[in-house]
Amino acid sequence: MSSKPILIREDGKRVDGRKPDEIRPVKITVGVLKNANGSTLVEYGGTRVIAAVYGPREALPRHISMPDRAVLRVRYHMAPFSTDERKSPAPTRREIELSKVIREALEAVVFTQLFPRAGIDVFIEVLQADGGTRTAGLTAASIALADAGIPMKDLVIGVAIGKINGTIVVDVNELEDQYGEADLPIGIAPNLGEIVLFQLNGVLTREELKTSMELAFKAVDQIYRVAKDALHYKYMKLLEEVKAQ
Ligand code: ADP
């Protein structure tokens, strides 16, 4: 039997040297795809996810369209090269489930009623998986929607909390996710202060849940600032280019 690795060192730090409340370096680039209406590349440490948004456009096939709002379609997919062992490109049950929970999280912020009969398609492609791909994917999707100019109440920022060797930590990497005792992916609309995605795998005490929420809100605040800067950067650059013409 393989023994469980030590994930919290004697000095309280994690395998990659982070403190429990420390997120990985976050990098966000907006407008990375020419043919999408909105796109972004989001990196949480080694996890790299691209999101592309198409629409609002005619919802096809027609029968899926709704008379009073746009239909949001989300596809979360892991590229076969994103994991250490090749993942089959065919959609798995996990990917179908994650596409659904991400769609529901986004429906909480998108003003779909502004576009009756239209379709908005969101593609989330995991390029490199190192833990927290659904939460990085959710962040990427909301930024790509904003980049596509789709009216929203707020962005949605995702982060995964974990319990490892009895310690609550933020933004788990793959090793922590694999060997941790609990894992809690969370999506938050920071300005609304609303939780739009909440899943729990494992068991947490009331006190641990409180710590988890505190860490999640703090991390979401930090990631939100990077997201806002990335959107500003793209649009300020565009504005400067227009002015220079
Ligand atoms: P999340 O990526 O949202 O944390 P999971 O908890 O299901 O979702 O997965 C945890 C991590 O395990 C992923 O981020 C990825 O690094 C790894 N993983 C997931 N699915 C696979 C797979 N099919 N093959 C290899 N690694 C995987």
16 within some domain:
no
Spatial neighbors of 15 by CB under 8 A, at least 6 apart, are 5, 7, 9, 173, 175, 176
Distance 131 CA to ligand 1 centre (A): 6
Task: With a cut of 60, say whether residue 1 has pLDDT above it.
Answer: no
Strand ranges (DSSP E) for the chain? 26-30, 38-44, 47-58, 71-78, 118-128, 157-164, 167-170, 182-189, 194-198
pLDDT in tens, 197-245: 999 999 999 999 999 999 999 999 999 999 999 999 998 888 888 888 8
15 within some domain:
no
Containing structural domain, residue 35: 26-244
9 within some domain:
no
The residue to mutate among 88, 171, 177, 179, having the most atoms of ligand 1 within 8 angstroms of its beta carbon, is 177
6 within some domain:
no
The confidence band for 5, taking pLDDT boundaries of 50, 70 and 90, is confident
Total domains, the chain: 1
The residue to mutate among 101, 125, 174, 200, having the most atoms of ligand 1 within 8 angstroms of its beta carbon, is 174
pLDDT in tens, 94-108: 999 999 999 999 999
Distance 178 CA to ligand 1 centre (A): 8
Going by CA atoms, what residue is nearest to atom 13 of ligand 1? 131
Closest CA to 217 of 188, 180, 184: 188
37 within some domain:
yes
